[in-house]
Chains A and B, each alone.
Chain A
Amino acid sequence: MMRGLLAFAALFVAVFGKDTFEGHQVFRIVAKNDVQLSLIKNMENMVHFELDFWREVTDLATPVDVRVPFHTLSSFKTYLEIQDIDYSIMIEDLQVMLDEELEEMESAARAAKPRDTDSFDYSTYHTISEIYSFQDMLVAENPNLVSKVVIGQSYQDRPLNVLKFSTGGSNRPAIWIDTGIHSREWVTQASGTWFAKKIVNDYGRDAALTTILDNMDIFLEIVTNPDGFSYTHTNNRMWRKTRKPNSGSSCVGVDPNRNWDAGFGGAGASGNPCSEVYRGPKAHSEPEVKSIVDFVKAHGNIKAFISIHAYSQMLLYPYGYTRTPAADQRELDTLAKKAITDLASLYRTRYRYGSIINTIYQASGGTIDWTYNQGIKYSYTFELRDTGRYGFILPANQIIPTAQETWLALMAIMDHTFKNPY
């Protein structure tokens, strides 16, 4: 403990004095008698050794600790040996020890459970249990604004948690946002966590968001595919689909973004269980999808539905399964343009926008094709950063910038939805 404190003091000096202690050693010196004790005391005056006494001479019973710089080590040892003064090396290389200690402290800080959502680290990727704890903390801290709705269970019985942001009313028109439906797209769950906190922070402070929440509800599902997400932490970072086994196949999982009842069975998805875009045995076969379908139908008053993916830097609207333009194509296109212009205003991140089938590829059984066909006009899909440099494994230092810029686009969509009731 003492050594730790002394080391910390040295570190403090090092950080502010910009010293380095590479190769420095810390000696523990034991005087055998009073003569030696005087000799050791006298060493304080031997400036050529450049000694730094950590524990100074007191009495015969107490050892003396001294830091010796690298370049005087050899002459100092010789001096001690000539005087027949006993010593041992407590620290072989002070800089190495300081570096290790700093690493430990940082690692402990990282691993420490946040006490509240203010001390939660938004700039790092989290596990499912950390995100679920975050959700509970956010609700506990904001009981009048946030509640948790469990809309179902995943295949492996994990709860499907949705945060409801509401200032009251009864079944108000609502906005739905989901992240993490494809589990390997980690920047999306991380952004969803940031969005949750952002909403709570901005209510009562940001005029636009406050007006929206005074009149509408926001539903946010952060970990939309929890089984897949857990699997990306434990087994395979590149896992995309659900984790439901497929009968008659050794391949696991269904693509939850090909499992919706919109153009289901058509081109733009696969019938092969081993495919990353396997549509599943039937529409809504996956509980992760069915739960949202049931929720949306039961609610009946959702006015905007935004499903968030990564990567490619795109903002997309229906359709994916057909080239027939959506009836509201012009309005959706104009709004998309506004949203990505707002997004780019922050860090100049460039997004492309358009219908799914034109901009990225034909895809059948997709989420927002279904929601649009249910009458939810403002149905959009995002593909967040980047464009392929790091792809799914986006550096954590891009989480917050990504979330911040995406939020501007989300606000554009939510604001337009609020101002254009239908």
Chain B
Amino acid sequence: MTNEELNPIHYPAQRAAKVVLHYLNSRCGSPYKLFELQTVYRVNAEDVADSGRKYRMEISVKEMFGNTVEKCSAEVLFPRGEQQGSPKVQTSCEELLKINTKSQEEALYQQYKTRHSLLSAQNLPDSYGHIEPDMTPFWCLGALASSFVMLAESTEETLYNMAQVTNITQLATEDDRLKFDYHILLHDVVSQEIIPWNLLITWSPPEGVKVLQMKQLPPHQKLL
């Protein structure tokens, strides 16, 4: 049961901390609320028999649109050996989660619920890093949806970010939710690979993001 204090600057601590952000974004993000890692202060790692390796940490998290920062503690358990599955995460971040974006979400929801045409968009951001302001909530929604995938796929040997939303197609629904088919590119810093994923999601202000289907796609042309 080795227990060690990690250097917070080095990559093992940083990779574990990133997983916390994927968890926060998938659970608590909104089209107007997205979190990123600010600083890793302390990390302690411990092997837990029959479970995996548990990282306990003190980190600070920033909400991207409002620029508020909160210091939190968190735990990440990476399954090992016999255990399969995604990392398990717990956090104490409370203040950031209270940030209220309901009125903006309602306005967005109403706008797209009553529109005659269905949204279709590509390349957010474009090659030059540009996103039209009224497309930013949909880029953000893509980042939230990607967080489900990144959380599920993360290990101690990966460090994921969403590289780009390549396509959004809004689909008609019979119920209260908005429904979207997303194509996104993930970037894994460790392998440097770009991994395309297809995600079918729904969103509404009361329910937030729900991922109906997620599918990894074949790698982008490495040929030609």
Contacts and interface: CB of A to CB of B under 8 A. Distances in A.
Interface of A: 124-125, 232-233, 235-238, 240, 250-253, 255, 274-277, 312, 350, 352-354, 358-361, 387-398
A361 B125 contact: no
B175 to A, nearest CB: 33
B167 interface: no
Contacts of A250: 222-223
Contact of B192 (A240, A350, A397, A398): A240
DSSP majority for the A interface? loop
Contacts of B64: 389
Interface in B83-140: 125-130
B160 to A, nearest CB: 8
Contact of A125 (B128, B163, B190, B220): B128
A255 B10 CA distance: 24
Nearest to B129: A395
B41 interface: no
Given A236-B221, A391-B161, A358 B194 contact: no
A388 B224 contact: no
A233 B11 CA distance: 32
A34 B185 CA distance: 70
A360 B126 contact: no
A276 B190 CA distance: 10
The 3 tightest CB contacts between A and B, nearest first, are A388-B161, A395-B129, A276-B192
B153 interface: no
A393 B129 contact: yes
A358 B192 contact: no
Given A388-B161, A392-B187, 4 more contacts: A276-B193, A359-B9, A388-B36, A396-B130
Contacts of B220: 236, 238
A352 to B, nearest CB: 5
Nearest to B194: A238
Contacts of B163: 238, 391-393
B39 interface: yes
Contacts of A255: 192
B157 to A, nearest CB: 9
A361 B194 contact: no
Contacts of B223: 250-252
B213 interface: no
A312 B187 CA distance: 12
A277 B194 CA distance: 12
28 contacts: A125-B127, A232-B127, A233-B127, A238-B164, A238-B187, A251-B222, A251-B223, A255-B192, A274-B222, A276-B192, A352-B9, A354-B9, A354-B10, A358-B7, A359-B10, A359-B11, A361-B11, A361-B189, A388-B189, A389-B64, A389-B161, A390-B129, A391-B187, A393-B127, A393-B129, A393-B163, A395-B125, A398-B129
Interface in B165-200: 185, 187, 189-194
A387 B18 CA distance: 11
B128 A396 contact: yes
B37 interface: yes
Nearest to B161: A388
Nearest to A257: B192
Nearest to B124: A393
A58 B221 CA distance: 67
A285 to B, nearest CB: 18
Nearest to B223: A250
Contact of B222 (A253, A387, A389, A392): A253
B222 A361 contact: no
Nearest to A398: B129
A392 B188 CA distance: 12
A20 B184 CA distance: 39
Nearest to B39: A350
Interface centre among A233, A250, A276, by most chain B C-beta atoms within 10 angstroms, is: A276
Contacts of B221: 235-236
Given A276-B192, A391-B161, A393-B128, A235 B224 contact: yes
A253 B222 CA distance: 8
A155 B77 CA distance: 46
A361 B158 CA distance: 10
Nearest to B15: A361
Nearest to A314: B9
Nearest to A395: B129
A286 B191 CA distance: 21
